[in-house]
Structure formats: structure tokens, C-alpha cells
Structure 1
Amino acid sequence: MTTEVRAPRVITLILLAALAVLPLNFIVPSLSALALEFEVDYGVIGLALAGYAGVSACLQLVLGPLSDRFGRRPVILAALAVFLFATLGAALAQDATSFLAFRMVQAVIAPVYAVSLASIRDVHTREEAASKIGYIATAWGIAPLLGPSISGVIDQVFGWRVGFALLAVLAVLVLVLCWSDFRETNYKRSTSVLSQMRAYPELLSSQKFWAYALCMSFSMGGFYAFLAGAPLAAHALYNVSPATLGLLLGTITVGFMLGSFFAGRLSGKLELSRLLLLGRLLAIGGLLGGLLVVWAGADHVLMLFVPCMFVGFANGFTQPSANAGAISVKPQLIGSAAGLASAISVGGAAVISGLVGVIITPENARYSLLLIMLATALAALVAALVAIRAERKAA
């Protein structure tokens, strides 16, 4: 593309990406305390997770077209302001109803990640965008790793409301940073929001877009499968304590961070198709190796988690390349494509997570988790191959 428009600094995008993903599981250690304080069943307060995810998936479809119509900067600044208001409201809530209402409004921050990726593509080539996205995805991996640990300590020492106050402070800092640094990158505005949303069928009719989006979805689905199935498998097979489980769950996120970092370094030096393919082959190889070791008789908790670290590393390679590919299918629909691809990814991964809860039992946990993750990795490989073939046809 051109260098006439300056993209936001990488540190700005990294902090924005971290704030976009942090609130999702920041609340997890406080769920029991919330249910107790508001005197509701745990299942009711659990809507703070499920409802948040559902609202964020829907908003992905809205904020992308809005950023194509009105620009990236106003959409991001408005989302940050609304998130700040909702976070303060949740921190001051006196009952479960008002807390959950403010919590749902908080979800406006999640689609900001996709809009920030669109701003990168506005001013960079596809290969350059993949490199930038790789670095930003590192923060996307660090935030959910550190968030629950920090919020758990805050909840235990000061109470959950102080944790939400900390989120509000972070929102203010990022809002000020974006106000000063996030210049507008989209100068090819659409004529109306409805025209952008009517463009969704155009994207959905593109085989290339579907291939990239499904590659992202199945890759993320492997991660969601791990989060849904690993606690049951670790407890049923090895009676792992909650503290140890928390550390082990971080293995896949550490892998993702490392993969994203290396993807950032290699993008521009290797074709995106090669990075995409390499990521998928790494995931399949790691899972097959883990299954072979287990079938050979190895019986240690690390035999469950080390193969999953390969999946995280592989996803770090895959996601930046697939993201860059998806939002490049229709250059005039970058924001819409970013939102739609994110919605497909989150929605598909959520379905896979639900299936894991149905399939995995204490009796079959030794193999079933790795087999499900292998199935998602194979499906992502097929999608990646379709995307690569479509790119070569279009060349």
C-alpha cells in the first residue's frame, strides 16, 4: 500500500489488543464471590462469561462496517469510552441484574481488536500486515494468561470491585494513548453502514474468504477445546490441584505467544501461504507425537499438555497469516471482513468448545482431548490448503 497515512505505533496496537481480550476471563476467579455477594446461583452469574462472548460475537458484525463508514479512529475511541462507562457501572453495581447488564455492555471492547487489525491493513501490504499482526497477537496471548492470575490476587486481597476499578484505569490510559496516537487510516469510506452490511453476502460468497475464516475458526477451536477439556482430563487422570492446573493451562498460551513472535519475524521473509501451512503441520505433528507417546504407555500429565503447547505455537503462526488473508479478500471491505471473520472464528470455536463438553468423559479423557484437537487441526489444514489454492488461482 502507501506510506502517506501513518499507522498507529505498534505499542498502541499491542495495548489496545491486550485490553480487547483481557476482560473476557479477567472475571473468572471472582465468579464465586460475585454469586455469593449478589445471592444468585452460580449458573446465573456464569452469564457474565457466556453472555459476554455472545454479545461480543454479534458486535463483531457491527463495528467492522461502522469503521468502514466512519473511520477506524472514531469507532475505537467510542468503544473505549463506552467500555470505561460500563466497567465503572459494573464496579458499582448493587445487584446481579445491573452487574450483568453493564457486563454485556463491556463486550463492546472485544471487536476493537478486529478494527485495529483493519487499520494495519489500511496502510500496509498483506505481507507487512501479517508481520505487524504477529507482534500484536503476542499481546493477545499474554493478556488472558496474566489476567486471571492478577484478578485472582486482587479479589483475594481487596475484593472483585477493585479488579474492575483497575480495568477502568487501564481503559483510561489506553483511551488517552489512542486519542494522541491513533490517527485515522481509512480514507476510502463507504457511502453508508447499510451498504457495508449488505456487502456481507459478497464476502460470504467468496471461497477464499471462507477458507481463511474457517482456518481461523478451526485453529481457535483447538484452543477452545483445550480450555474446555483439559481441566477435566487433568483432574480425572492425574488429580491435578487447581494451582498446578492454572500453570499447566498456560502452556498453550505460552506456545501461542512464541509462535506469534516468530510469525512477526518471518512475515515478509516467507510467503504467507508457507507460514499458514507450516503452522498447520506443526499442530498436527505435535498432536500426533503426543498420541503416539500416550499409546506407547507414557503416563504423565505433561504428555497431555506438551502436545497442546505445539498447538499454541502453531496457532501463533496461523492466525496472523489467516487474518491478513481474510481482510485482504476485498480491499474495499477491510473492516467488514475483519469483523465477519472474527465473528465466524469465535462462533465456530464456541461450538467446538460445546461439543468437547459433551464428548469428553473421565473414562475417555486420556485420548479424546488430543483426538478432538487433532481433528480441528486437520480441518484447519484443509481450509488452509483451499485458501492457498484460491490465492494461486487468483495470481
Structure 2
Amino acid sequence: MRPANTPPHLLTLILANALSVLALNMFLPSLAEISEALKADYGLVNLSIAGYLAISAVLQLAMGPLSDRYGRRPVMLVSTAIFVIASVGCALAQNVWVFLGFRLLQAGIVSGQVLSRAVIRDLHAPKDAAKMLGHVAMAMALAPMLGPMLGGGLDMLFGWRSSFVLYSLLGAALLVILWVDLGETNAAAAGASFARQMRDYPELFRSRRFWGYSLCYAFAVAGFFAFITGAPLVAAAWYDLSPAALGLGIGIITVGFMVGNFVSGLLSARTELVTMVLAGRVFATLGPIGGLALFFAGAGTLWVFFGSAIVVGFGNGLTNANANAGVMSVRPQLAGSASGLSGAMTVALGAVMTSLTGALVTTERAPYIVLGIMLSTSILGLLAALYVRWVDKRDPLPPGL
């Protein structure tokens, strides 16, 4: 066993991130079967997604201050243990209310995303943190692409409960890894009380850089949510794609994201955070502009639609890790709180964009509307990045921050 204050291996943080993503999407192919097996309305079962997102947003607000007060290690260990218990409960549930209750408890695994970012910021200066966050994001980007495929295969072979059995096993394995490998990285833990940590949130609210970086990151993720919400209708109504081909198409944006993170890792050590963020937002804006121009010119094709998404994914790869590092560098002593608050904002905006896209997209104009929404979020993210640049010029950060 490693000493309690020894920093964790990067692989440990990647695994914690990946499980938090799998917890959201791996069982999605089983929703209809869960509805039938538990004799519940599909809309009610769908609360396992919407409710999960809502609870995870609330938990992120609390987990950040808790980890700033008590340390990253205990919060991650407790939340992972709760996830394991909740996964077992979902696997054994015999009615929809028991299932939904345990499913909402699974949201505790969001600590893997929130606190792994804080751990990296504890250990590294902003530019180095951006590079490390990019490596984590690049390695775990496969989770949203492979998760539903794995869940669908398990459902076909063993039924819907098998996904939650796997969640239980993966959670138990992660708990052991965290216990052995995750040393405490928050040197300021056990300083202020939890109530004081919560009262420190206004300090983040007053930071213009925090809002700029947070909104830039949130709008980048919102564009991805808009794409995955609208792409199925575009694929079905305009190009008659099979579910397998659609899954491959959606996965393409993840490939763009991985390449963007790789480039970011190469350049971030010698490039300002806001410069990388701006470059990413420019790429993410150019992708939908080019796609819409070709569609309006009558040259829109399946390749144009998904190609635009690849460019957006590449831009997000340049943006996200650097924006996250910027968020947590505003007040380094509040890195956990900043990560949690930014994460909650991102989840909330993603939920709004998912609902908005679903409401606005029509069969006749599907690719135009989806690309238009993606363009809107990219422009808003670009404006947020330009705002950070403006703040930096008016109020430069001290060297090293």
C-alpha cells in the first residue's frame, strides 16, 4: 500500500473519470426493457437519466467544498462505496421506485470527474494541469463511445440487470484501487469548516475569470449534447442510417475530441491557457459555419454533417482541459469548490440544451437546426473566451498562475 500522502497514478484518475461516464450511458440501450420488466411507463424509467443528471449537478456543488474541507481521498472513497451499494440495489430491484431510488444514489460516482480534476490541480501549475487534464480526457474519451455498445451487448446476452452487476464489480474494483493508490493531495484540508467552505462560494462568484472559463467550458459541452440529441433524427430522417452506423457516426466526434486533446497536450506547456481556449472555440465555430454553408448551397451530405461535428470535437479537445485548468486556477485553495460549481453549471446547461434541441429539431430542417444550435453554443463559448482575454489584459495574473 502506498503512503497516505502519495499522489495517485494518472491511470487511477482516468479510471475514476471513465466509470463516472459509464455510469451515465452504459445502460441506455436497456431503458425499454427496464420499462417492460418493471411494468413502468417509459417516461418514468427515463427519470433514471434526467434525475441522475439533476442529482449529480447538486452533488457537485457539495463535493467540491467537502473535498476542500476534508480532503479528496475520503470524499472519493465514500462516494465510490455508495455507488457500489447503489449498483447492487439497482441490479436487485423488483419495482421501478426501488430502482429509481438506487439509481439516483449512483450519482455519487460523479466524484470521479469532479475530484480527479481537483487532484491534478493540487499537484500541478495551471499549464501543466491543462496538459494532464488533456491526457485524462483523451484516454477516457472512449467511454462515451464504447459504453452503450457494451451495455447493449450485455443486455442481449444476459438481460438488463447485467449492466448493473458490471457497475457493481467495476465500482468495487475502483474502490480498492482508490484505497491503495489515492493519497491525499489537498494540503489545505481540515482548515476551514464545511460551512465556511460553502460561504467561500461567493468568492468564486465575484471572479470574472471563473465565469469566463466556466461558461466557455459549459457551452463547449452543451454543443456536444445538442449534437448527440439531434443526430439520431438527422440520421433517420435524412440518411436512413442503421443504429450501428449512427453509433459510429456519433463516435466520430469523440475521435475529433481525442485528437484535439492530443494537440493540446503537445502545446499547452508553452502556450497560455486562454490562447488554447480561444483556438479551440475558433475551430468549434468554423465547423458548423462550413457545414451550414454547404447545406444552404445544396451540397449538404452525411459526410458534411458529421465532418462539421468532427471539427467541433477537435475544438472542444483544445478547449476543455485548458478551460478546466483555468477554472481551478482562479482560487487554487478552492480548486475542489471551483471544479464542483463549474461541473454543476455544465450539467445544468447540458440538460437545457438537450431539452431545447429535442423541442426545436424537426424532420424537414433537422441538419440545419442541429448545426445552427451547435454554432450558437460555439459562438457563445468564443465570446466567453474573448472575455477572459479582455480580463487578462486589464488585470494580469501574477506569474505562475
C-alpha RMSD of the superposition:
1.3
Give the whole-Å Cα distance in 2 for the aligned partners of 1:66 and 1:265: 34
**2:76–2:111 contact (8 Å) kept in structure 1:** no
Measured against aligned partners, the alpha-carbon deviations of 1:225-266 in whole angstroms (never above 9, x if no partner) come to 101111112212122222211111111122112212222232
* 1:334 equivalent in alignment to 2:335: yes
* Structure 1 residue 366: Cα displacement: 3.1
* One-letter amino acid of the structure 1 residue matched with residue 382 of structure 2: L
What are the equivalent positions in structure 2 for 1:152-301 lying under 5 Å apart?
152-189=152-189, 190-301=191-302
* Structure 1 residue 26: Cα displacement: 0.9
Measured against aligned partners, the alpha-carbon deviations of 1:349-385 in whole angstroms (never above 9, x if no partner) come to 2212211122211122131111111111010000011
In terms of mean alpha carbon deviation, does 98-107 or 139-148 score higher? Answer: 139-148
* One-letter amino acid of the structure 2 residue matched with residue 219 of structure 1: A
Give the whole-Å Cα distance in 2 for the aligned partners of 1:34 and 1:93: 11
In structure 2, the partner of 1:347 is 348
What are the equivalent positions in structure 2 for 1:81-92 lying under 5 Å apart?
81-92=81-92
* Structure 1 residue 6: Cα displacement: 4.6
In terms of mean alpha carbon deviation, does 369-378 or 131-140 score higher? Answer: 131-140
Which runs of 5 or more residues in structure 2 are unaligned? none
* One-letter amino acid of the structure 2 residue matched with residue 198 of structure 1: R
Measured against aligned partners, the alpha-carbon deviations of 1:39-72 in whole angstroms (never above 9, x if no partner) come to 1111111111111111001100011110000000
Give the whole-Å Cα distance in 1 for the aligned partners of 2:367 and 2:28: 26
Which runs of 5 or more residues in structure 1 are unaligned? none
Measured against aligned partners, the alpha-carbon deviations of 1:193-237 in whole angstroms (never above 9, x if no partner) come to 111111112211211111111001111110011011111122121
In structure 1, the partner of 2:396 is 394
**1:259–1:314 contact (8 Å) kept in structure 2:** yes
**2:274–2:323 contact (8 Å) kept in structure 1:** no
SS in 1 for 2:186: coil
Give the whole-Å Cα distance in 1 for the aligned partners of 2:258 and 2:197: 33
In structure 2, the partner of 1:11 is 11
Give the whole-Å Cα distance in 2 for the aligned partners of 1:16 and 1:266: 26
SS in 2 for 1:63: helix
SS in 2 for 1:211: helix
**2:133–2:321 contact (8 Å) kept in structure 1:** yes
In structure 2, the partner of 1:365 is 366
In terms of mean alpha carbon deviation, does 291-300 or 226-235 score higher? Answer: 291-300
Give the whole-Å Cα distance in 2 for the aligned partners of 1:383 and 1:6: 37
* One-letter amino acid of the structure 1 residue matched with residue 111 of structure 2: P
In terms of mean alpha carbon deviation, does 277-286 or 290-299 score higher? Answer: 290-299
* 1:44 equivalent in alignment to 2:44: yes
In terms of mean alpha carbon deviation, does 31-40 or 283-292 score higher? Answer: 283-292
**1:6–1:123 contact (8 Å) kept in structure 2:** no
Give the whole-Å Cα distance in 2 for the aligned partners of 1:77 and 1:179: 7
Give the whole-Å Cα distance in 1 for the aligned partners of 2:186 and 2:367: 50
Give the whole-Å Cα distance in 2 for the aligned partners of 1:121 and 1:382: 25
**2:291–2:300 contact (8 Å) kept in structure 1:** no
SS in 2 for 1:191: coil
* Structure 1 residue 181: Cα displacement: 1.1
* Structure 1 residue 300: Cα displacement: 2.2
* One-letter amino acid of the structure 1 residue matched with residue 297 of structure 2: A
* One-letter amino acid of the structure 1 residue matched with residue 69 of structure 2: R
In structure 2, the partner of 1:56 is 56
* One-letter amino acid of the structure 1 residue matched with residue 88 of structure 2: L
* One-letter amino acid of the structure 2 residue matched with residue 394 of structure 1: P
* Structure 1 residue 336: Cα displacement: 0.5
SS in 1 for 2:141: helix
In terms of mean alpha carbon deviation, does 160-169 or 119-128 score higher? Answer: 160-169
* 1:315 equivalent in alignment to 2:319: no
**1:118–1:327 contact (8 Å) kept in structure 2:** yes
Give the whole-Å Cα distance in 2 for the aligned partners of 1:257 and 1:88: 33
* One-letter amino acid of the structure 1 residue matched with residue 138 of structure 2: T
Give the whole-Å Cα distance in 1 for the aligned partners of 2:345 and 2:7: 26
In terms of mean alpha carbon deviation, does 331-340 or 231-240 score higher? Answer: 231-240
* One-letter amino acid of the structure 2 residue matched with residue 30 of structure 1: S
Identical residues among aligned pairs (%): 47
In structure 2, the partner of 1:71 is 71
* 1:23 equivalent in alignment to 2:23: yes
Give the whole-Å Cα distance in 1 for the aligned partners of 2:36 and 2:289: 44
In structure 2, the partner of 1:109 is 109
In structure 2, the partner of 1:119 is 119
**1:7–1:120 contact (8 Å) kept in structure 2:** no
SS in 2 for 1:188: coil
Give the whole-Å Cα distance in 2 for the aligned partners of 1:330 and 1:164: 38
Q: TM-score, normalised by structure 1?
A: 0.96
SS in 1 for 2:183: coil
Give the whole-Å Cα distance in 1 for the aligned partners of 2:151 and 2:266: 32
Give the whole-Å Cα distance in 2 for the aligned partners of 1:367 and 1:137: 29
Give the whole-Å Cα distance in 2 for the aligned partners of 1:125 and 1:320: 13
Measured against aligned partners, the alpha-carbon deviations of 1:97-125 in whole angstroms (never above 9, x if no partner) come to 11110000000001331111111111210
Which 4+ runs in 1 deviate beyond 4 A?
Answer: none
**1:64–1:336 contact (8 Å) kept in structure 2:** yes
